[in-house]
Amino acid sequence: MSKSKLADKVAVITGGNSGIGLATVRLFKEHGASVVIVGRNPKSLEKAKRELGENTLALQADVSKVDQIDDVMSQTKEVFGRIDVLFANAGVSDCPPIQKTEEAFFDFIMGINVKGVFFTFIRALPLLSRGASVIFTSSVANNRGSLGDPLYAATKAAVRSLARTLAADDEVLEKGIRVNCVSPGCIQTPLTVQDTPEMQAAINKYIESAVPMKRWGQPEDVAKAALYLACADSAYLTGSEIAVDGGLGQI
């Protein structure tokens, strides 16, 4: 595979300090991109920045706060002047049992997974270059029931819907900007590490029985799909979705 699919491109990746986002940052850098990583945890941001070296900006921001997204965009503008690839990937998952769900949790998960994705896109739009690629991280949970995590599934369905509608926006089309989703299934990241060995064994057993390929996916599997959506190879895809789920949502 050619190693310069993103030569001279500027990519902003939310959640770029962990899991799927970090694997994508590494792959984008290998392909020549400069990257802006956005996350909340200063330690993992600093660690990622040290690993990735030059042409990397690591910014601490909470994507559920629009003023903090604005800071990310103005610092990106100051350093790089534009955005060629926007990967709105930051997200949280674990939900409390439905009867114990408080209003504050509802606002928390919607704030990060839906409001965060929407405003990351809206506030990046003035900086997006002609022909830019926008990728949202949805989930296999976007079109099926997700017992135990109803709000998570609802947020990811909302993200899938946003990609369809925003891709058709007049300004977006006029600038040749494409908007697509990557929808992971069960991927081994810090998000899916369980609290106890018993819980981990139970989820491993679920994966063996429910995932047609009978195994976890790796963050790098999703990063490769993100690379395809980011670069010119996917020039005729918009409003679309790539599922990276070992068949979980398909079969």
- Nearer to ligand NAP (CB atom), residue 33 or residue 91: 91
Binding-site size for ligand NAP (CB under 6 A) equals: 30
By annotation, the residues acting in catalysis are 152
- Helix or strand run (H / E) with residue 8: none
Determine which helix (DSSP H) or strand (DSSP E) holds 22, and give its type and residue range: helix 19-30
Interface with ligand NAP, residue 148, by CB under 6 A:
no
Which tokens go with 207? Answer: 């994966």
Query: Which residue of 13, 18, 115, 124 would you call a contact of ligand NAP, by CB under 6 A?
Result: 18
Which one, 125 or 207, has the nearer CB to ligand NAP? 207
When the beta carbons of 34 and 138 are compared against ligand NAP, the nearer one is 138
Which positions from 194 through 223 interact with ligand NAP, judged by CB under 6 A?
Answer: none
Q: How far apart are CA 118 and CA 162, in angstroms?
A: 8
Listed in sequence order, the DSSP H helices in 34-190 are 42-52, 66-80, 103-110, 116-124, 150-167, 170-174
Q: Is 120 in the site for ligand NAP (CB under 6 A)?
A: no
CA 13, 187, 119, 105 torsion-angle sign:
negative
Whole-Å CA distances, 250 to 84, 143, 183, 208: 31, 10, 12, 16
Q: Contacting ligand NAP (CB under 6 A), which of 89, 120, 133, 234?
A: 89
Report residue 61 CA to chain centroid gap. 15
- Give 172 or 211: the residue with its C-beta nearer to ligand NAP: 211
Give the residues lining the site for ligand NAP (CB under 6 A).
14-15, 17-21, 38-41, 44, 62-64, 89-93, 112, 137, 139, 184, 186-187, 189-192
